[in-house]
Every structure is written in structure tokens, then in C-alpha cells.
Amino acid sequence: MSSNIRIGCASGFWGDTAMSVPALVHSGNIDYLVFDYLSEITMSILAKAKQKSPDMGYTPDFVHSAMAPNLHAIKEKKIRVVANAGGINPHACADALRAVAKKQNLDFKIAVVTGDDLLPQLDLMKSLNIKDMDKGFPVPENIHSMNAYLGAGPVAKALDLGADIVITGRCVDSAVVLGPLISKFKWSLNDLDKLAMGSLAGHLLECGAQSAGGIHTDWHLIKDWHNMGFPIAECQENGEFTVSKPPNTGGMVTVGTVSEQLVYEIGDPANYALPDVLCDFTNVKLTQVRENEVLVQGAKGKCPTDYYKVSATFGDGFRATAVCPVVGPRASEKAIITAKSILQRSENVFKLYGLKGFRQTHLEVLGAEQNYGKNAINKNSREVVMWIAVHHDKKEAISLFSKEIAAASTGGAPGFTTLIGGRPKASPILRLFSFLYPKNKVEIQITCEGKTEKYISEPIKAANASPAAEFKKVPLTKGTNTYRLEELAYTRSGDKGDTNNIGICFTNLNLSTGIYSLANT
């Protein structure tokens, strides 16, 4: 009997497909089913939901769409579940799941990890003169949520306590995979190379279908988009693992698809910071061992920092977006003239009400290839879409803008058709405030079967970390040939806060092989 464990990830975000769970549960032969639901904006949305109802603040999709229809199969196959579906209110999530299970005459041992929510410490944060780690501004007034990115240790402890299902609030995405590995293989938090490999397994699984061909550079090779497979990591005690997907599902798992996810949002590939370990991915080796199965080796670990990253969200005014098709000769020119007139007329109305102008506006003509700049080919389409986005401190101003759009139908250039979705409504803008906070100031608790205990991490000595091999950066050879990037490399874009992150992985090239990460704020 193999001592390896198989972990399948069924969700990359709140709103992912409900079809992933049945495929993983019924044909994935998995030991653990994990879910990643949370982003910075999701935390703020959940905080708002909890303000409206104290029983909300978690992701209800986890309870009602992912778990409820599959509980009997999960129980029968003895699959253990880890999910950060708790959001702002993990205990309410656990209670809702218990209620659903009870209706099906099923009993699960559910553990809850808390301590990430630091909003009760907001006044203390302000007194400490904390600054945003990227832009240096102080703690904003209108904070909606404030959560530390916890690590995998508490998840592992909850599983050690015998939990069938572990529900957390905010934790790093990879922790839902690393936690089961620490628990199963009894890894020490000083086994830094193993923690790095386990974190890499989590990183490759955390975005759902992306490792299995979702938004792949070579998208034209993908089959059965309607039945996309979700990734499975089969992990060994030494940290090495393979990535695959359930049989008879769409997509594909190749060195290319895994490479793209490897470089997703990692910033510096030699120093990918997580609460449990600082990861060096520069010498990771990917090998296609069979169809739809890739072997992953070579991640190295270094001592983590003494700080958690904390992400807070705050309100920053209101926005609205208006979208309208414009048709006929010189459609692009008409769309630009019409949009500019709407913006100017709106600000004229603002003056009548004593309001300031827009804080920010965005005007784009879809179909005129504006994003291609000087490389645009078709600038004169007879059918385009006028897209206007506006930002203002006052909700009242957004409402006035919304009313002024319709006037273009009789007082603007011809070709203005219907507003898609009707007149836009004001929606709040949420911004990110990120900072580092000492781990010893964060109290983590684990509640299981009605008993709550404080989580205490073992001290990290870094005794078992291996030195990373030297990573050689080979310059590209000079020449006169021109290539599209997709012909030379696998790429993946993402974001961390307000930083656009573009990962590039060159493979099978004589000119160089390596992993690179470009950031542009």
C-alpha cells in the first residue's frame, strides 16, 4: 500500500465551477479535497455581508454547492476536506455545514481555525503608526476588513486532532495543501526543504483549473473546455510530487501548464515568502512522466520571517461603468466624441450641485484596438463598444453621471444604441492596505468538537535546510529574428495588491532556460 497521499483542489476562487467536486471525489482517487476561495476583495465583500447578518461572512457556495450534493460520497470514501471558506466568519460556516450534514443523517468532525481577523485590533494598529508596506500611507479611516495570512501549522494541528473537515479564515492559499502534508508525514516546521516542496504543491493547485490547462498559452491545444479537469497532487514523504487530473476530464497537464502556474504571482522566484517557509523555486525541475502527469522536484526552503503579512481593505469612494455599442461609419470616432461629451456634461451638472469633478475617468473604445497602440491593425471598425468608467468620492455624483448618459441618444453623434445593462449604478471602491505584523502578536485558536485550544508553533531553527544550487541567468542571444512571446515561453499574469505580476518560463530553448518574474506597478 502506497504511503503517498493524493490531494485534489476543487476551487481557485469564490465562484468557481460546481462540476470540479464530483470529478475529484468520484474519479480522482483522492485522500484530501481542498478549496481556495479567498482574495483580498472577497474578504471585504464577506465583511460587508457579516455586517448585514451576523450569521453570514463566509462563502455559502462551499456549503450548498460544493459540499451538500457530495457529502455522502465524501463520507463513504473517507476523504478529508480543508477549505478557507470561513472568510470573516469561520464558525458560522461550520455551523451551516453541520446543519446540512445533519439533514442528510451524516456526522463529520469539523475543526475551525481562527485568529486571522485583526479588525478588533484596529485602534492598536493606528497607535503603532503602521504604514502600507508598498506605498507608505498610514492606516485609513474606513477599514472594512483586516486579516493576517496564516500558515499551514494550524491546519495540520486541526487534522492531528482528528478533524474530517477543517475550515479556516484567511490563510495563504498554499496552506490548505501544506497542512495535510505536515500532518500526514509528520514533517517538522524545521524541515524547510520539505515545506518548500509542500508549499509548491499548494501553489500549483491553489488556482484550480489553471494547472490543468486553464488560460494556457497554447489554448488551441486544449479540448473539452466545458469539462475542465482540476489538479491533483500525489505527494511523497520526501516532498516530491506529481501533478495530474481526474481521468475523462478536459484540459491537460503538461510541463507547459504547470510552468505557467509555477510563475504565477510569486514575485521573486528565489524568495517566495510564506508564513511557514521562504521558498526558492529557481531550480525546480518539471518532468513529463506520462500523459497528463508531471513530476515536480527541486524546491528549496529557507527560514521564514517573524511577521505575518496582513491585508486590510478600505472604502475609497464610488465608481460606475457604462457600456454601449456604437455603430456605423467612423464608429470609433463617434464613440470617443460621445463619451467625452458625457463626461464633460456630467461635470457641468456637478458644478450646479456644488460637487467636485471626477477623481478619475477611463475611456476606451473596444473594437478599435486601442490596447495595441501603434501596432493596431483595425482602427476603423463599423461596430465598436464605448466603455466609460468613472470614480468619485460621492455616490450622488455617480447617480448624476448615470442620468446624463441617456442624453447622448438624442444629443450626441448618431450610432449610439442601447446601454448594456441599463443605466449604471454606483458601487463602492475597495482599496488594499497591506503591512507586516509580528507573528507573536497574533493569537491563533483551533476549535474542534466544542473544545478550543491555542495554537503554539514550534520554534524554527533552520537546521534542515539545504543550500540552494546556484541559479545561472543566461542572456538571450542576439539576432535579427522576431518572435511572438508565446512562441518562446509560457507566461502567466497575476497581481499582488496594486502590482501587476508577469511570470515567464522559458523552456526547450537553446538560448536560455529559466524562470523569470517581472513586476510593474
Q: Is the pTM of this model over 0.85?
A: yes
- At 365 the pLDDT is 93
pLDDT classification of 474: cutoffs 50, 70, 90: very low
Q: In the predicted model, what is the mean pLDDT of residues 89-109?
A: 97
Q: What does the pLDDT look like over 107-116, one tens digit per residue? A: 999 999 999 9
Q: In the predicted model, what is the mean pLDDT of residues 27-42?
A: 93
Angle between helices 153-160 and 175-185 (to 10 degrees): 50
- At 462 the pLDDT is 56
pLDDT classification of 343: cutoffs 50, 70, 90: very high
> Could you tell me if 473 and 183 are in contact, meaning their C-beta atoms sit under 8 angstroms apart?
no
- At 1 the pLDDT is 43
Q: What angle is formed at CA 204 by the lines to CA 268 and CA 263, rounded to 5 degrees? A: 30
pLDDT at 513 over 80: no
Q: In the predicted model, what is the mean pLDDT of residues 109-136?
A: 92
- The mean of the pLDDT values for the chain is 89
Any idea which of 14-23, 267-276, 370-379 has the lowest mean pLDDT?
370-379
> Could you tell me if 86 and 115 are in contact, meaning their C-beta atoms sit under 8 angstroms apart?
no
- At 413 the pLDDT is 87
One DSSP character per residue, 61-92 reads HIIIIIIGGGHHHHHHTT-EEEE-TTTT-HHH
CA distance 510 to 355: 61
Amino acid at 443: E
- Report residue 316: phi and psi, to 5°: -140, 55
- At 20 the pLDDT is 96
Q: In the predicted model, what is the mean pLDDT of residues 334-358?
A: 96
- At 476 the pLDDT is 52
CA distance 91 to 56: 10
pLDDT at 469 over 50: no
pLDDT classification of 288: cutoffs 50, 70, 90: very high
Phi-psi region of 450 (alpha: psi -120 to 50; beta: other; left: phi over 0): left
pLDDT classification of 492: cutoffs 50, 70, 90: confident
pLDDT at 481 over 80: no
Name residue, grid cell 454606483: 426
Q: In the predicted model, what is the mean pLDDT of residues 225-238?
A: 96
Higher pLDDT, 515 or 66: 66
- At 519 the pLDDT is 46
pLDDT at 448 over 80: yes
Any idea which of 5-9, 311-315, 508-512 has the lowest mean pLDDT?
508-512
Q: Where are the beta strands (DSSP E) in 291-328?
A: 293-297, 300-302, 307-327
- At 480 the pLDDT is 66
Strand 241-244 with 427-438, pairing: unpaired
- At 461 the pLDDT is 74
Q: Calculate the alpha carbon distances from 358 to 293, 323, 343, 389, 423 in Å.
A: 52, 18, 9, 10, 18
Give the Cβ contact number of residue 103 at 10 Å. 10
CA distance 272 to 279: 5
Q: In the predicted model, what is the mean pLDDT of residues 484-500?
A: 68
Q: What does the pLDDT look like over 373-392, one tens digit per residue? A: 888 887 778 999 999 999 99
- At 322 the pLDDT is 95
Higher pLDDT, 94 or 476: 94
The 8-class DSSP code of residue 438 comes to: E
Any idea which of 16-20, 480-484, 491-495, 496-500 has the lowest mean pLDDT?
496-500
> Percentage of the chain with pLDDT > 70?
90
> Percentage of the chain with pLDDT > 90?
71
pLDDT at 208 over 80: yes
The HSE-up count of residue 51 (CA atoms within 13 Å, CB side) is 10
pLDDT at 463 over 70: no
CA distance 19 to 59: 17
- At 500 the pLDDT is 66
